[in-house]
Amino acid sequence: MSGPSTLHGALMDNVYRYQRHIYDATRHNYLLGRDRLIADLAPPPGGTVLEIGCGTGRNLIALAKRYPNAQFFGIDISAEMLKTANMSIARHGVYDLIKLAQADALRLDPRDLFSRSDFDRIFFSYTLSMIPDWTGALSRAASLLKPGGRLQVVDFGACEDMPIYFRRLLYWWLARFHVEPRLDLGLAMRGLAASPEKVRLETLYRGYAVAGVLTA
């Protein structure tokens, strides 16, 4: 990788170099909606699933155990996170079902990485909020869907049904880790869809999280 990717990759490595060791244990309580996405994903038998920004591999491992007939792929810009993901996947005995590669969501070419050009399911779990050009990443992902495939997102929401002080505190704290909730997620997803009804957006946990689904 070169140019801006290298800078962002270095930033992500700095964020996660030590955090990765406690990531799965500490994120359980506040990256809400991930298990809901996993249950909802339901790839077709023999289908292909790509996670963009797979981190420690936590979601891919759960998916491989739940849908052992599908094939799973993960990319992440952080070499540090991928070290943990590779170890964790081996420890859980699902190494044959999951392939990982280091890549930037914005320059993702799955033909180079995995010898595949499209996927039945592609998802971002708490990743778009860490990608500066998040609409570019979303657009790149949408272009890699098979006809009838689905792009799914879960991330921090607008906290619309929460006290304003909670939202201010949460957003201040997230910014310290280079996380910025994407309040225009629905707009961006609808802009990529063939028609508005191809996008479903749901507010979760009083707006703490948001889940979006775009069907190709």
Ligand X SMILES: C[S@@+](CC[C@H](N)C(=O)[O-])C[C@H]1O[C@@H](n2cnc3c(N)ncnc32)[C@H](O)[C@@H]1O
What is the size of the binding site for ligand X (CB under 6 A)?
Answer: 24
Residues 24-43 binding ligand X (CB under 6 A) are 27, 31, 34
CB–CB of 200/174 below 8 Å? no
Coil, helix or strand at residue 155: strand
Select 139 or 198, whichever has its Cβ closest to ligand X.
139
CB–CB of 169/156 below 8 Å? no
Contacts of 114 (CB under 8 A, 6+ apart): 73, 99, 101
Residue 147 beta carbon to ligand X: minimum distance, rounded to whole angstroms: 25
Select 45 or 176, whichever has its Cβ closest to ligand X.
176
H/E run at residue 123: strand 119-125
Select 65 or 196, whichever has its Cβ closest to ligand X.
65
- Supply the DSSP symbol for 43: P
CB–CB of 181/172 below 8 Å? no
Q: Contacting ligand X (CB under 6 A), which of 43, 53, 149, 212?
A: 53
Residues 78-107 binding ligand X (CB under 6 A) are 78, 81, 104-106
Coil, helix or strand at residue 166: helix
- β-pair partners for 153: 124, 212
Q: Contacting ligand X (CB under 6 A), which of 38, 61, 77, 158?
A: 77
Residue number of the CB closest to ligand X reads 55
- The answer to whether residue 140 forms part of the interface with ligand X (CB under 6 A) is no
Select 68 or 136, whichever has its Cβ closest to ligand X.
136
Residue 67: alpha-carbon gap to chain centroid? 18
Select 174 or 198, whichever has its Cβ closest to ligand X.
174
Contact residues: ligand X, CB under 6 A: 8, 12, 27, 31, 34, 52-55, 58-59, 75-78, 81, 104-106, 125-127, 130-131
